[in-house]
Amino acid sequence: MVSTLIDCDTRRWKADLVKSLFFPFEARTILNIQISYNLPEDKIIWVGNNKGVFTVKSAYYMALNMVDSSEEGESSYGDPRDLLWRKVWHLHIPSKVRIFAWRACVDALPTMVNLQNRGIWENDLCPCCGKDSEMIFHSLVNCEVARRVWDNWESQVIENWNQVAFESICQLPSQIWSFAKRYLHDYRGARLTLSMSPAAKNSRWTPPPPGVLKIKVDGATSEDGINSSVGAIIRDSCGAVIGACCKYLQGQYSVAEVEAIAVESGILLARHMRISQVIIELDADLLLIVLRRCSLMEVLAI
């Protein structure tokens, strides 16, 4: 029975017992399941939908996904470049540069070779050096013009390529370097201005009305294998701390799941302290929309 793996006093998994009975990957999956505070009776559920009830429609879609996965072959095991994509999309650089880097990695730039393969261009020679076929690696790394740009460490070649191909004008590597440097400087300046805007300054904590307490909740999660954690603090209209709690979770959860667990912890803390008039403050917009659709009784019936 699943109930034998749960400590009813702490409402947490018996981690040592779980790890001793299951393989490591199975234990991680089990410990990542958040336990309900009310500890309901064990029951069999259907994993094909969010309601836990079997339907022919959900079974059809599960079978369809299994067929699609088997047809994908090796790709069903995921893209081995996922880590690279995550790093690219989280770089603090202009979006157009991130998109350019992604297109370069998947060979989706309009090089002469790609244009020739699509019947758009007859000549595949590099328009900058005129010596070799222009493929991605050549245009960004091997071309003598690109090498001179890389000597200055930064690179911005798209506009220069367009001028060479269509206007027969080629900027000097030093000009390309100067453009990239100015572009990055302007982008960082814009980010700094945005972070100092009045909207950002007004995002500080605001007190609740007199007679009402505010619960500020937050969660932390990581992709480095570190378990997630949550915390909550209750303050009155004067800013005085009425109560607080924190919890180190037994698994790694998504951002939305961690925020939901943080809200649960805040509500349970308020219920334990017999506090009824509260305002919950959280950061997750999606979770906030879901909570607004719930009635007060649904929220308190955790």
Give tens-digit pLDDT for 109-137: 888 888 888 888 778 888 888 888 989 88
pTM: 0.43
Structural domains for the chain: 2-77 (no CATH), 109-195 (no CATH), 213-300 (3.30.420.10)
Closest to 126 measured CA to CA, from 141, 116, 138: 138
Give the model confidence (pLDDT) of 248-275 as tens digits.
Answer: 888 888 888 888 888 889 999 999 999 8
Q: How far apart are CA 33 and CA 31, in angstroms?
A: 5
For residue 178, the SS3 value is helix
Q: How far apart are CA 64 and CA 29, in angstroms?
A: 24
Q: How confident is the model at residue 170 (pLDDT cuts 50, 70, 90)?
A: low
Residue 12 phi, psi dihedral angles, 5° rounding: -135, 160
Element (H, E) at 84: helix 82-89
Bridge partners of 234, per DSSP, are: 215, 243
